[in-house]
Amino acid sequence: DVKVTQSSRYLVKRTGEKVFLECVQDMDHENMFWYRQDPGLGLRLIYFSYDVKMKEKGDIPEGYSVSREKKERFSLILESASTNQTSMYLCASRKLAGDYGAGELFFGEGSRLTVL
């Protein structure tokens, strides 16, 4: 069974703390993504990585950075957490296909971050 695992389901952090969200996939997928999910806004892309050590900004990268040192792991970093980063964070992965990916995105269960 395919699996995308996010390290923490629930986190509570204080303003200004550095936060790491980890995501691991066991499917040998090239592409990995970080989205945030907010009510009424759907999913918005923060960053994606099309392969190891490769990354590109999504639609809302401000305040975030990412790291992809190994193919199976994609980390999202909040350098200095702020209250407006309270959200549900979803990691996803996808096998690279000929047309940049007609294939399915596989999602983790999400990490709900609260910044106080």
Contacts of another protein in 48-87 (CB under 8 A): 48, 50, 56, 58
Q: How far is the CB of 104 from another protein (least distance, A)?
A: 4
Q: Is 100 in the site for another protein (CB under 8 A)?
A: yes
| Sequence letter at residue 18 | K
Return the range that interacts with another protein (CB under 8 A); candidates 14-22, 38-46, 62-70, 77-85: 38-46
Q: Which residue, 77 or 88, is less far from another protein as judged by CB? A: 88
User: Dihedral angle at the C-alpha atoms of 92, 53, 36, 77, nearest 10 degrees?
Assistant: 130
Give yes or no for a contact between 23 and 34, defined as CB atoms under 8 angstroms apart.
yes
Give yes or no for a contact between 82 and 62, defined as CB atoms under 8 angstroms apart.
no
Q: Checking DSSP bridges between strand 10-13 and strand 111-115, what pairing results, if any?
A: parallel
**Contacts to another protein by CB under 8 A:** 4, 31, 33, 35, 40-45, 48, 50, 56, 58, 90, 92, 99-102, 104-110
